[in-house]
Amino acid sequence: MSDRHDDFDGLDDFAGPRDALPEGAFADDDPDDGLLEEELRQAAAILDPVPAGLRQVAVDAFALHDLDARVAELTFDSLVDAIPVRGETDPPRMLTFRGDGVTVDVEVTADGLIGQLLPPGPAGIEVLSGPRAHARLTADDMGRFTGDAPPSGPFALRLRTGGEVVVTEWLRA
């Protein structure tokens, strides 16, 4: 078994002044690092700017972050977990989200969304989909809900049942 000090032999070479650093080594206190980082940010902003729509999606996603919300995780996705049916050219996408005693079953079709909450009960549902206005749906006493437009791009569902908020994972439609 080696002595702990022996494991760090050779590191004393880095303890000297900044000029004593071997070629290719970095010092944490290099004042040029901040300048270099700023120059790289400016170059990226000019050469490869973040699209305004993407920036807005990021801001909206952060603003929608609700610390009190429970997260319902994806437990079934027919694109991954189901066996294809022969002859079916455009089957609906079936999704199941579960979290803390709440289950959300959703069918995504070309015509929109159909879903049900378990345990059943009324709820307000928002289809979060980036920069577009959020579609607002209502679940009836049986927990059933429908939406006329299928989500495009990334989407998530935010459910408000009484005083509780449940947010599903984000998926690409």
Q: How far is CA 86 from CA 89, 91, 149, in A?
A: 8, 10, 27
Query: CB 146: neighbour CB atoms within 10 A?
Result: 14
Element (H, E) at 78: helix 78-81
Q: Work out the percent of the chain whose per-residue pLDDT is above 90.
A: 29
Q: Provide the CA 55 distance to its chain's centre, in angstroms.
A: 14
35-39, 87-91, 152-156: range with lowest mean pLDDT: 87-91
Q: Which tokens is 94 given?
A: 């079936």
Closest listed residue to residue 120, CA positions, set 108, 107, 102, 133 = 102
How far is the C-alpha of 29 from the C-alpha of 80, rounded, in Å?
49
How far is the C-alpha of 95 from the C-alpha of 116, rounded, in Å?
11
Taking a C-beta distance cutoff of 8 angstroms, is the pair 141, 117 a contact?
no
pLDDT at 30 over 60: yes
pLDDT, tens digit, 9 for 90 and up, residues 125-160: 999 886 666 789 999 999 999 998 888 888 899 999
Q: How far is CA 40 from CA 26, 43, 54, in A?
A: 18, 5, 20
Q: Where does residue 157 fall: left (phi above 0), alpha (psi -120 to 50 degrees), or beta otherwise?
A: beta
pLDDT, tens digit, 9 for 90 and up, residues 97-124: 998 889 999 999 988 999 999 999 999 9
